[in-house]
Amino acid sequence: MKSRTSMAALGMTLALSGLTPLAAAAQDPMAAQHRHCEREFERTSEALGDAFARRDLNRFMAGFAEDAVQVNSLGQVLNGKPAITAFYRAVMANEYVFKRTLLAQTISQCSSAVVVDRIEFTIPSAGITLHAIDVANWARVRGQWRLSADTTTPIAKP
């Protein structure tokens, strides 16, 4: 009886071990899809930061959703792309230096993402430097990543 149980256990182990590669194979396409989505998101997010650094308003605003909300470092809430565009048009009228350091990034099921950056924004001619934490919420809309909400919170100078 004991050997029959041992043989049954061995048989089950061998049968289930054959399923392990199938389970791994099923996960590989999902992992590959997530990596593809992650790379696509990172390119989009980097392009937005680059457009801001280069003061390219049109390219920068192309990343925003029409109903986006922006809370700037002064605590002003800007609702919708036209209000956000007007704000950044005024910002980009100045010469500035922008530095962004990624602190955290989470992508959820290739449908939404959150990015937390430490930013340094300097207007040399005015002697102004802003150190802040920026939290950007993204949504994937019709196959395109769009910035849906962005909050910039000033922090003490490091």
Distance of CA 132 to the CA centre of its chain: 17
Distance of CA 81 to the CA centre of its chain: 19
**pLDDT confidence band for 17 (50 / 70 / 90):** low
Residue 155 three-state SS: coil
Residue 143 three-state SS: coil
**pLDDT confidence band for 4 (50 / 70 / 90):** low
φ, ψ of residue 88 to 5 degrees: the values are -70, -25
pLDDT for 25 equals 47
- In this predicted model, what pLDDT tens digit does every residue of 114-136 receive, in sequence order? 999 999 999 999 899 999 999 99
Say what the pTM is.
0.76
**pLDDT confidence band for 14 (50 / 70 / 90):** very low
Q: Which residues of 140-157 are buried (b: 16+ CB within 10 A; e: fewer)?
A: beeeebbbbbbbbeeeee
φ, ψ of residue 93 to 5 degrees: the values are -75, -15
φ, ψ of residue 110 to 5 degrees: the values are 55, 30
Distance of CA 131 to the CA centre of its chain: 20
- In this predicted model, what pLDDT tens digit does every residue of 85-108 receive, in sequence order? 999 999 999 999 999 999 999 999
